[in-house]
């Protein structure tokens, strides 16, 4: 049985004054039903662009996207919308993703009204059902967004995203704009919903700890390409790509006995306008060699001997073995 979402060689460039910017440069991945795949990376890596391309807010320049084995983009507009309603999106900013002039009933009801043509009492009852799924209640239906806190607004956004009963949700940094104590609430809600509604998630984030908590698999991105992909705990405990290793080393640990072990990566996050020849990460990489500046390494799948897991790595000198002492 093939995966729910299959992305092959996705490409997206922007034309700018300074030349073309390859925001997404040949990305391929699968998301299986009911599983969570995470995309991590720093700013400019292209992860948000992927999300926008999948929901067709941006048009891809190349590559193929298949959902439930149907190729998107080849269908008539009507069928395309039919398919696309099978996946929903939750944006990062709960303060601007809800129309401030609309009531909750209208916000969550909009997809139901537009796509299913629901109205009146049927619409209201269905909206209440979805609000209850996210931990809100019928008393919230006639209120405006500004009457809610950030966490509650994000719940409303989630209710809106699941209103059409999709099979996949794209979550673009859903907790980044929320307070720490609320993040946990929303993450737990997402995990719960995944179970009860059998949802698959494409979870985009820059926060590795959050990703480890919710995801099954992770893909690490750098300048528009995937540099490493595999099961999340394994990738974070024993990263093979130097960039993944650097990301993990940059995270300050909550353990004061490990103070001073922070090893920052030198250099700046590069601009997508200025992608170096060869491996994009080479200028900042401790392990680079001559080979790395001549050609860009392809993303290749290998099976790790120790664990038997499948890992994809794009590097001429992958690291081996877990990090000293493991990550705690």
Partner 1 sequence: MSAEPILAIGDLAVEFPLLSGTVEAVRGCSLSIGKGEVMALVGESGCGKSMLALACLGLVPKPGIVRGSVKVAGREVVGRTDRELADLRGGRAAMIFQNPASALNPFFTVGAQLQEVVARHRGLSRAAARQAVIAAFEDVRLPDPKIALGKYPHQMSGGQLQRVMIAMAVACRPVLLIADEPTTALDVTIQAQIIVLLRDLVERTDLSVLFITHDLGVVAEFCDRVAVMYAGAIVERGPVADFLEEPLHPYARMLLAAVPRLGAGRARLEAISGQVPNLAHLPRGCPFHPRCAKTSDVCRRDDPVMRRAARGRHVACHHALGAIDGGVTGSSEDAA
Partner 2 sequence: MSAPGSQEFGVRPSLGLSRLLSWFASQNVLLVVGAVIFLTIVALALLAPLIAPYDPNTIDFSQKLRAPGLEHLLGTDELGRDIFSRIVYGARTSLLIGVTVLAFSMALGVPIGLVAGYFGGRVDTVLMRVSDVFLAFPPLLLPIAITAMLGAGLFNAMMALAISWFPWYARIIRGSVMGVREELYIAAAKTMGVSAPRIMLRHALPNSWTPTIVQASMDFGYAILAAASLSFIGIGARPPTIEWGLMVAQSRTKFLDFWWTAACPGLAIFLTVLAVNLVGDGIRDLLDPKSRAR
Residues that bind partner 1 (CB under 8 A): 42-43, 149-152, 179-185, 187-188, 206-210, 212-213, 233, 236-237, 246-256, 258-260, 262-266, 268-269, 271, 326-328
Return left, alpha or beta for 161; rule: phi > 0 is left, psi -120 to 50 is alpha, else beta.
alpha
Under the binding rule (CB under 8 A), the answer on residue 35 touching partner 2 is no
We find the least distance from the C-beta atom of residue 54 to partner 2, in angstroms, to be: 10
Contacts of 221 by beta carbon, 8 Å cutoff, 6+ apart:
27, 39, 40, 41, 45, 46, 47, 227
We find the least distance from the C-beta atom of residue 210 to partner 2, in angstroms, to be: 13
Residue 247, binding choice from partner 2, partner 1, none, Cβ under 5 to 8 Å by partner class: partner 1
Under the binding rule (CB under 8 A), the answer on residue 206 touching partner 2 is yes
Query: What is the Cα–Cα distance from 176 to 181, expressed in whole angstroms?
Result: 12
Under the binding rule (CB under 8 A), the answer on residue 79 touching partner 2 is no
We find the least distance from the C-beta atom of residue 24 to partner 2, in angstroms, to be: 18
Q: Using alpha carbons, select from 308, 306, 310 the residue that is nearest to residue 320.
A: 306
Under the binding rule (CB under 8 A), the answer on residue 306 touching partner 2 is no
We find the least distance from the C-beta atom of residue 95 to partner 2, in angstroms, to be: 6
| H helix intervals, 198-286 | 208-214, 232-237, 242-249
Q: Is the dihedral of CA 214, 196, 108, 161 positive or negative?
A: positive
Write the interaction track for partner 2 spanning residues 119-148; mark x where CB under 8 A is met and - where it is not: ---------------------------xx-
We find the least distance from the C-beta atom of residue 269 to partner 1, in angstroms, to be: 5
The residue range among 90-98, 223-231, 240-248, 251-259 that interacts with partner 2, by the rule CB under 8 A, is 90-98
Under the binding rule (CB under 8 A), the answer on residue 60 touching partner 2 is no
Q: Tokens 């910017």 identify what position?
A: 21
We find the least distance from the C-beta atom of residue 251 to partner 1, in angstroms, to be: 6
Closer residue to partner 1, CB minimum distance, 198 or 250: 250
Q: Is the dihedral of CA 97, 103, 109, 114 positive or negative?
A: negative
Closer residue to partner 2, CB minimum distance, 206 or 317: 206
Q: DSSP per residue over 243-254, as a string?
A: HHHHHHHTSPPS
Count of CB atoms situated within 10 Å of the CB of 281: 26
Residue 256, binding choice from partner 2, partner 1, none, Cβ under 5 to 8 Å by partner class: partner 1
Closer residue to partner 2, CB minimum distance, 155 or 160: 160
Query: What is the Cα–Cα distance from 112 to 119, expressed in whole angstroms?
Result: 8
Under the binding rule (CB under 8 A), the answer on residue 178 touching partner 2 is yes
Under the binding rule (CB under 8 A), the answer on residue 114 touching partner 2 is yes
Closer residue to partner 2, CB minimum distance, 152 or 244: 152
Query: What is the Cα–Cα distance from 98 to 207, expressed in whole angstroms?
Result: 24
Q: Give the residue, chosen from 67, 91, 222, 281, that forms a contact with partner 2 under the rule CB under 8 A.
A: 91
Query: What is the Cα–Cα distance from 25 to 44, expressed in whole angstroms?
Result: 12
Task: Compute the radius of gyration of the chain from its Cα atoms.
Answer: 21
Query: What is the Cα–Cα distance from 12 to 33, expressed in whole angstroms?
Result: 26
The residue range among 22-30, 61-69, 170-178, 295-303 that interacts with partner 2, by the rule CB under 8 A, is 170-178
CB 168 within 8 A of CB 3: no
Query: What is the Cα–Cα distance from 318 to 79, expressed in whole angstroms?
Result: 44
Please give the size of the binding site for partner 2, defined by CB under 8 A: 37
Query: What is the Cα–Cα distance from 46 to 39, expressed in whole angstroms?
Result: 10
Q: DSSP per residue over 282-296, as a string?
A: GGG-TT--HHHHHSP
Binding site for partner 2 (CB under 8 A): 55-57, 81, 84-85, 88-89, 91, 93, 95-102, 110-111, 114-115, 146-147, 149-150, 157, 160, 173, 176-180, 182-183, 206
């Amino acid at each position: 049985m093939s995966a729910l979402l299959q992305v092959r060689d996705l490409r997206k460039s922007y034309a700018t004054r300074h030349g073309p910017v390859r925001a997404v440069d040949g990305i391929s991945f699968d998301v299986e039903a009911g599983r969570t795949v995470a995309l991590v990376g720093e700013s400019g890596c292209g992860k948000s662009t992927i999300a926008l391309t999948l929901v067709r807010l941006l048009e891809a320049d190349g590559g193929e996207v298949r959902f439930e084995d149907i190729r998107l983009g080849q269908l008539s507009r009507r069928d395309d919308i039919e398919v696309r309603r099978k996946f929903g999106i939750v944006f990062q900013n709960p303060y601007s993703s809800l129309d401030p002039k609309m009531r909750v009933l209208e916000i969550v009801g909009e997809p139901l009204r537009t796509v299913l043509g629901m109205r009146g009492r049927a619409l209201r009852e269905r909206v209440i059902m979805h609000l209850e799924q996210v931990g809100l209640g019928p008393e919230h239906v006639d209120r405006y967004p500004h009457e809610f806190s950030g966490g509650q607004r994000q719940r409303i956004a989630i209710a809106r995203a699941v209103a059409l009963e999709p099979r996949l949700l794209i979550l673009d940094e859903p907790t980044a704009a929320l307070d720490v104590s609320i993040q946990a609430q929303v993450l737990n809600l997402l995990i719960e919903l995944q179970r009860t509604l059998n949802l698959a998630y494409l979870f985009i984030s820059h926060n590795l700890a959050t990703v480890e908590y919710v995801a099954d698999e992770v893909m690490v991105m750098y300048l528009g390409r995937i540099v490493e992909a595999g099961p999340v705990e394994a990738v974070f405990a024993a990263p093979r790509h130097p960039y993944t290793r650097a990301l993990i080393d940059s995270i300050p640990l909550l353990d004061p006995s490990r103070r001073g072990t922070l090893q920052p990566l030198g250099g700046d996050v590069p601009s997508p306008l200025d992608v170096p020849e060869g491996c994009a990460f080479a200028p900042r990489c401790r392990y680079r060699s001559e080979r790395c500046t001549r050609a860009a390494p392809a993303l290749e799948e290998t099976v790790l001997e120790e664990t038997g897991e499948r890992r994809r790595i794009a590097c001429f000198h992958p690291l081996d073995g877990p990090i000293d002492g493991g990550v705690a």
